A and B are shown apart, each in its own frame.
Chain A
Amino acid sequence: MPVMNYIQALNSALNNAMEEDERVVVFGEDVGRMGGVFRVTDGLQKRFGEKRCFDTPLCEQGIVGSAIGMAIGGLRPVAEIQFMDYILPAYDQIANELATLRYRSGGQYAAPVVVRTPCCGGIHGGHYHSQSTEAIFTSVPGIHVVMPSDPYDAKGLLISAIRSEDPVLFLEPKKLYRSAKAEVPESPYEVPIGKAKRLREGEHVTVIAWGVMVKVCEKAVDAVAEKGIRCDLIDLRTLTPLDEEAVLSSVEKTGRVVIVHEARRNTGYGAELAALIAERALLSLEAPIRRVTGFDVHCPFTLDPYFLPDPPRVALAIEETARF
């Protein structure tokens, strides 16, 4: 099996999807001729033609708005927003239009659109190339939100997303684009939307993360293991719909939980997880629920190492939770 990085895995998924379904069209800013600023769509225009992979005008609400219309017109659009920081002009089209279409039409219309976008920090991008604003989308019903943490899941989830009957916001932590590598089959396969994955098994503490933070947590979990603290590490992979079973069964076993996300703490998705655990597994808890997150500031340029949770910070939180 070939080893691929995250970009190559996504590119392989797009190749597979465009081969198997001629309704699939891929577009966005600099996506066609140049193959995307991160090269995710590299070679697609050459292979499938300008009709199926193309550059759009520089207009995020136009990209998502037209994608909705294309889906209504029978295509399977995969739209790229160049950076998640620039998705806000399209927020109305996503939250008010795309996510509501099936419901507000009484099930008569649906728009199976995939919106892909690079997210999160760690590349010294300052506030405008670092945000992870998944929580403003997880509160919207009618759209799935996924954030895979490795190339194998990235490919399988992207194929599932493109085949899905529902819209999917597909978040790609750009820090993983070249750094994450894995064995990835050339042929298409699905990783199901809505299923978490357990990466480490242990009975002392449950650690929950997604995206780049999964890599950070792997290091932290391995570090505390040397001190005899064994953790369940859960990679959510999909944020909505949440795999509640994976979260709750682990917390019921360990009674201790650390939630790690790169997004700011205030009203981050970790708050939802903490609330879920408090509501449904409170009596299993033996320590307060702990969050390790970005600070409630705008992601800085020079000082972003302070902002982003790193393995020592996570390890400390795990240790304190284990000893509580």
Chain B
Amino acid sequence: MTAVQPLQLLSPEGGASVEPPEGLDPERLLSLYRNMVRLRVFDRRALNLQRQGRINFYAPASGQEAAMIGSAAALEPQDVAYPTYRESGVCLQRGMSLRTMADQLFGNARDLVKGRQMPNHWSSREHNIVSISSCIATQIPQAAGTGMAQRFRGENAATICYFGDGATSEGDFHAGLNFAGVFRANTVFFCQNNQWAITVPVTRQTAAPSIAIKASAYGFEGIRIDGNDLLVVYKTVREALEKARSGGGPTLIEALTYRMGPHSTSDDPRRYRTEQEVETWRRRDPIERLQRYLEARGWIDAEQVERIAAEAKEEVDRAISEAEAVGPPEPETLFEDVYARPTPQLERERRELLDLIRRGVVSRVTHTPIRGS
């Protein structure tokens, strides 16, 4: 079967004749471009931090900046986002500071999730970014439920659910889309088909001609888009969110993109994919594509490009050195947040641990986790 052609506004050459979609004026476009650059710089620095042994793990976003920044830019503050471990860009675009993001990578005492999760598991209630689980696809029925609650309560709000191509093979994908369809949940399902689930290509996840087509089995629209085209990502997600907020039900969006780096710091992509494939996608780079467009329209010049890159480097460096200077959380925090209030058992276990530390039997954790630790 032939592949279904994705919707596109900006071709890889970045055609100057295209008008930006509603909601994206030159100033906003520039701020999104800036965030894409900040994201890429953060991503490279985080990978390097792990290679230098200063953090324990990282899963990069490079190549997927347009899909992440474009989709998150379409969200209103009251919309709820369920990201995965790869969605650094969604956190950044929703307003999480680089410092807060860096705190999470270290799992330090300032980390919003109190050092309880591996790197890449950001969460911030303030930004409506729901806690990330490492389990693939479990957030999909949850996002359906939040969209059901929004509809139930008559809120002018929607939920966006992020997941990858691999996740579409899980039972939770079926469960979540089916519930959302049946209950007309205010949920937008945003699949970044980055072609790979660790070492397994998308052709091993499905024999269907696209992922988007699966929406029809659940009674709602599926749209396949060029995920490296910021304009089409923003436009499609914005329209789907508006539809969801106004009671029109869910949408499945499949954004075709590519994970330029490794799955995570634990694998070497050269072992399972060709340099030729990577090169093909390098020519579709989402940041370069947007930059060419902005240049052609006269909305950015070489000096701005340089300044944005330089500022991003400085900002990221500062965030990381500040985060690295913070130590690990205090031992007693181990027992917080299991329940709303600690049970008698947890109180006793807390006393037991503190006593062991006091007597020197258990040594205090003095560093945040580093590679191989």
Select which of B140, B149, B179, B344 is within 8 A of A74 by beta carbon: B149
Give the interface size bracket for B toward A: 35 or more
Task: State whether the Cβ of B359 lies closer than 8 Å to any Cβ in chain A.
Answer: no
Q: What separation, in Å, do the CA atoms of A69 and B185 have in the docked complex?
A: 11
Take A65-B140, A101-B131 as given contacts and tell me if A72 and B145 are in contact as well, using a CB distance cutoff of 8 Å: yes
User: Chain B 163-197 against A: per-residue CB contact (8 Å), 1 yes, 0 no?
Assistant: 00000000110111011001000000000000000
Task: State whether the Cβ of B343 lies closer than 8 Å to any Cβ in chain A.
Answer: yes
Task: State whether the Cβ of A93 lies closer than 8 Å to any Cβ in chain B.
Answer: yes
The answer to whether B80 touches A72, judged by C-beta atoms less than 8 angstroms apart, is yes
Q: What separation, in Å, do the CA atoms of A194 and B175 have in the docked complex?
A: 33
Task: State whether the Cβ of B138 lies closer than 8 Å to any Cβ in chain A.
Answer: yes
User: Chain A 84-124 against B: per-residue CB contact (8 Å), 1 yes, 0 no?
Assistant: 00000100110011001111111111100000000000000
The answer to whether B172 touches A61, judged by C-beta atoms less than 8 angstroms apart, is yes
A interface, by DSSP: helix, strand, loop or mixed?
mixed
The answer to whether A103 touches B338, judged by C-beta atoms less than 8 angstroms apart, is yes
A28-36, A51-59, A216-224, A298-306 - interface stretch: A51-59
A244: nearest residue on chain B (CB-CB)?
A: B344
The answer to whether B112 touches A61, judged by C-beta atoms less than 8 angstroms apart, is no
The answer to whether A74 touches B133, judged by C-beta atoms less than 8 angstroms apart, is no
User: Chain B 115-137 against A: per-residue CB contact (8 Å), 1 yes, 0 no?
Assistant: 01100010111000011010100
Q: What separation, in Å, do the CA atoms of A245 and B116 have in the docked complex?
A: 31
The answer to whether A241 touches B345, judged by C-beta atoms less than 8 angstroms apart, is yes
Take A66-B148, A100-B133 as given contacts and tell me if A107 and B141 are in contact as well, using a CB distance cutoff of 8 Å: no
Select which of B131, B133, B145, B344 is within 8 A of A108 by beta carbon: B131
The answer to whether B138 touches A97, judged by C-beta atoms less than 8 angstroms apart, is yes
Take A103-B338, A104-B113, A106-B123 as given contacts and tell me if A70 and B345 are in contact as well, using a CB distance cutoff of 8 Å: no
The answer to whether A65 touches B131, judged by C-beta atoms less than 8 angstroms apart, is no
Task: State whether the Cβ of B336 lies closer than 8 Å to any Cβ in chain A.
Answer: yes
- Residues of B near A96 (CB, < 8 A) are 133, 135, 138
The answer to whether A241 touches B344, judged by C-beta atoms less than 8 angstroms apart, is yes
Task: State whether the Cβ of B59 lies closer than 8 Å to any Cβ in chain A.
Answer: no
The A189-244 residues at the B interface (CB cut-off 8 A) are 194, 240-242, 244
The A102-148 residues at the B interface (CB cut-off 8 A) are 102-110, 141-142, 144
User: Chain B 129-160 against A: per-residue CB contact (8 Å), 1 yes, 0 no?
Assistant: 01101010010111111111110110000010
- Residues of B near A97 (CB, < 8 A) are 133, 135, 138, 142
- Residues of B near A103 (CB, < 8 A) are 116, 337-338
- Residues of B near A182 (CB, < 8 A) are none
Q: How far is the CB of B173 from chain A (nearest CB, A)?
A: 10
B134: nearest residue on chain A (CB-CB)?
A: A96
The answer to whether B114 touches A242, judged by C-beta atoms less than 8 angstroms apart, is no
Select which of B131, B147, B340, B345 is within 8 A of A104 by beta carbon: B131
- Residues of B near A77 (CB, < 8 A) are 145
Task: State whether the Cβ of A73 lies closer than 8 Å to any Cβ in chain B.
Answer: yes
Select which of B142, B147, B340 is within 8 A of A102 by beta carbon: B340
Counting from the closest, the 9 A-B pairs by CB-CB distance are A69-B145, A65-B141, A73-B149, A66-B145, A62-B175, A105-B131, A241-B343, A69-B142, A165-B340
Give me the interface of A with B, judged by CB distance under 8 Å: 25, 51, 56-57, 59, 61-62, 64-75, 77, 89, 92-93, 96-97, 100-110, 141-142, 144, 164-166, 194, 240-242, 244-245
Given contacts A72-B80, A96-B135, A106-B123, 5 further A-B contacts (CB under 8 A): A69-B148, A69-B149, A108-B131, A109-B130, A244-B345
